[in-house]
Structures are given as C-alpha cells and as structure tokens.
Structure 1
C-alpha cells in the first residue's frame, strides 16, 4: 500500500508500468533463487543427518514427524493461536485509538484484524488494506495516516524481537557461543542489538524535536505524534505474544523429541522471527537460521515450516469465522 499523493497527476498506465519494471522482476527472481538455495542448504543438512542413521532425507523426516505427539501439539497450538489473535488485535486497537480513531471499540477491531489474516495468506501488505479501508469508511482516516500507524507498529515489532533476544543472549551467552560454529553469532547478535538500542532513542528524539526533513512526511505522522510512553506501551502490549511463542515452541519441540531450553528459545526465537521477515518466499531465511542455531537437529527447519503453516492457516480460519461481521463493518 502506498501513500496517497493527490498532488501528483500520473497517467492511468503509470502504476501497471511500475509493477512490471525490470528491477521488480529481477528482485522477484533473485528472492526465489535465494529461497531455492536456502531450501537446498536445509535439505543437504537433513541429508547429512539422515546418512548417519543410514536413511535418506525423506525417510528421516517421516521418522521425525512420525514420532511426534500430534494430539498434544494441536492442544498447544490452537489455544496459542487464539491468544495471539486477541493480543495482536489489542495492540493494534491501542495504536489506532492513539493516532487515528480515539472512539474505536475493541469489539470493532476484532473482525477487521481477523479478516486481515485471510488476506495475509496472499500478501501481508494486502492484509493491511482491510484496516486502512475500515478506518477510511467509518472514521474518515486518510490511507496514509492509517499506514503511518502500521509502520510504527512494524518498527516496534522489530525492536521488541531484538529486546527479548538481547535478554536471552545476556542470560545465556554461552549458548550463543556454542551455536557460533557456522556464523560468528557471538559477534553479530550483540552488534545488531547495540545498534538498535542506540538508534531507538535517537529516532524518538529526532521526531519529537525540530522540524523539516522526514518529520514532515505525511506517511510518518505517527512518529511525530508518538511519545516515549507510546513506544514503551507497544512493546509491553505485544510482549505476551512473544513470551507465549517462546514457551509454545519449547514445549512443541519437546513433543517432536528435540531437547531445547527456554533460555535457548528466548535467545534465538526472536532472531529467527526477524529472519522470517526477510522478503523471501516461504520464510526461507528462517529455515536456514534454524539449522544454524540448532546444528544437531537440522530437521527443526521442517518443523518450523509446519508450525508457521498451521499458524497462518488457523489464523485465517479465525478470519473466516469473523468474515460476515467484517463484511458488514467494511461494506455495510
């Protein structure tokens, strides 16, 4: 979704031409090539582990998934998916009330947020369109202003992941050192976290003081309006989802006979979620990072793909349940 710019007149064909630009096509091709490389690397790692058991990769994965306790896994994943939806809706509702529609009710947010999960199956950016359309139709909020709030949420999502990972790394740095066999994670992770914690206060100070530059961009309006307490509260309101994910992944891996500690999950899972945000098909970056962080269990890459697929499909199912009301809210 792009910022509304009524001051620039373009011919009707301009947008399609941009969509078909050579750079866009090259980028898509590059991401698919990288994703294919990631899958090949993961498959190779799984093949090496399988060979040690005198199996091929597919037999190894069948054995891995066959030993899992699927009933307890479902009993773990379904409540967490519902919990995630409620927490996610709550923090989105808070941000929209602060910067866009102070009168918005939480019960009105639920169907809109749920319907976005359906659209996100196609494209996450398309999923944000439901929120923008609702705010425009019911609260007369311009699209660029609604998008500004979503950008703020996105930034704090990244910072929250880095914050919790920093806590996990600080408490279990020896685990990071042990996992640094392929990449120097004991250097990379602290460096990224230090940069993030230096950047955020400078970011807040920049948008809270002075005039001109990026401060005047309409699409960054939420950053001008946000006070330090807003940043803190966004992290606080989103925290239950990440803490829940750390617990759920720890217990879920145990159901697949993979031994991990809460400390490992706290240090590594937020970083894996960051890798999942890379613009690669099927969250291929996260798959590779699983094998890097847990070299003794390369099959956890396949486990993560199953976890993510169930999560997005079940969330979309929640969206289907709310769809009649969402249609009334959006088009009624």
Structure 2
C-alpha cells in the first residue's frame, strides 16, 4: 500500500499515521486537482493485490483539507483531514470527502453522546422492550424479541443503531449486552415456560471467543434455562471470523440455546451459511415481506426460502408483517412464525403478560 501511495504522491511527503492510516502532504494542488488526487489515491489502493495466486481486494477512504502552511501546525490540518476521512468512510466503501466545519460539530456531538451512553450503562438506563413472536398456525405468542431502548435524561429517544454503534466502536458493547440480557432473563421468568426469549448478538461480539461463556454466566445467574433462549445472528456477523463463529455457535447449541439466522437473504452468502452452521430458525427479512404480494419475483424467493426451511427442518419467521393480507398469504405458504406491527409493537416488560393474556382470550373467544 505504501509503495502505491508513494507512486501517486511525493515519497518524501507520505507518512504512516498509524494502523492502516496514511497521511499524504500534496503541495501546489488547486481545489479541482485536490478531488482528482483523492480519486487517484483510491484507484491506486483498491487495485487487487495478488498473493500466492489469490487476488486480495482492499478498500480505501480519503479525507482531505487545505493546510495553511506557516499559519498552523501540520497536525491541525491532518486532524481535519482525519475527520473528513471518517465521514467518507461512513458513506460507504471507496469514498472521498473534503473537510467541512459541520464535521467538527458532528464529532463534538458524538463525544457528548458517548459520555452519556457510558453513564446510562452504569445507571442501567437502557432497557429491553419486547416485540411478540406469534405461532402462525395456532395464533398464540411463542416468544418475544428483546430490543434495546434508551431515552436520555432530557427525554430524547436515542435510536438503537446510533447508541449500539457507539457501544461497538468504544468497547462498551459487552457490558451493555450482559446488562440487557440479565434484565431480559429476569423478565422472561414471568412468562409461560414455552415462551422463548429472543436476543440479538452484534457482529462485533461474534469475534469474542468468550461470548458463549458470558451468555451461560448470565443465564445461570438469573435462573433462565438455556432452552428458553434464542440467539439471533445476522449473516454478516459470521463472515468476520468464521472459525470463531463456528466454535461459539457449537457451544451455544450444545448447551440447548436456539440459534436463529436473522435478516435471511440480505447478507453475502445465505445458502453457504446454512451449509456451514447449525441453525434452528431462519428469519426472512422484512424487505421481502413488504412487496411479496405485488412482486412475483419476491414471492418466488419467499416460497424458495420456506421450502428450504422445511427441507432442512428449520423453522421460518417472517419479519415486518403489517397487513392482514400479508398474514393470510404467509399462512398459505406455510410460514411458521410471524413478527410485525400487525401483532404488536415493542413493549415494556410490564405489558408482556397482559398482552399474552389478552391474545389468549381473543383466541379462546373465537
């Protein structure tokens, strides 16, 4: 990488910033040529590298800003370029961005949110809410998926992707995960014995070789049998370190924990994951459910997924059911479990028992 970057810029002005980051000082560029230079850097870095007969591809994100040479230290300009680089990175692979003042404000807001998150975890202010999972054949509640919810001290609801992303980046995800799982286990003890607790694991956690041990410790401390826990894992979580993922899933399975493959059909290699790992359930992503009635191709894909589940003796859950016609169609196709606003939104723990009771009453009446 260094040789390629030096070939584009002056070798005396290329520095390794740390890890996989480099700083290039390019002199005498006009604003128009700055953007062209950024594109050339990306093209140079992203060319495949051939190692022992294999082509290895590397991505690149570039941020840049003008250095007021003689008026400020180089470190200040490098810091601004670094902020722009992270903004480019957040917009997808192989992007470039020039620094804007708003990026500094964004970093300040994120630092404030990170501090608030740390305090919220310490105070256990982040709570699990529960969305029902319904057996489509009987209509009864067969489980709840735990979903993290956080409302800060000012009464502002922080979106889960925002605070979970920060927790993953800062290493707070393990403490947050264990705390939420402990709360959820205690709540699940109030449900009937056949009602499962479904809990999500992030891709970052699947790189933790102690993950299974952490889960067993929480289950034991709170008295929830492993057979009542279902762990949901996205396909993308399995590609970071497949060997470690296989060990974790085997340990969980051997203890009786159920494993669900979440957002099935949206990852890199759905069928390959089913062949390599043992799953008890596949969850069909809501993007397929939303258009299945109006899009013949989507319906055929759903039929194929359900057929695959039956042939492998794996239960199927349809996510994002919002309309009665979707429910009726999925029943005809033989889907096992349903989840979505049609059945109920995520609710606090104290509402789950009454939700189960009311649904049973409706079913009994008719």
TM-score, scaled relative to structure 1: 0.29
The structure in which a higher percent of residues are helix is 1
The structure in which a higher percent of residues are strand is 2
Choose 1 or 2 for highest CA Rg.
2
Greater relative contact order (Cα < 8 A, sep 6+): 1
TM-score, scaled relative to structure 2: 0.27
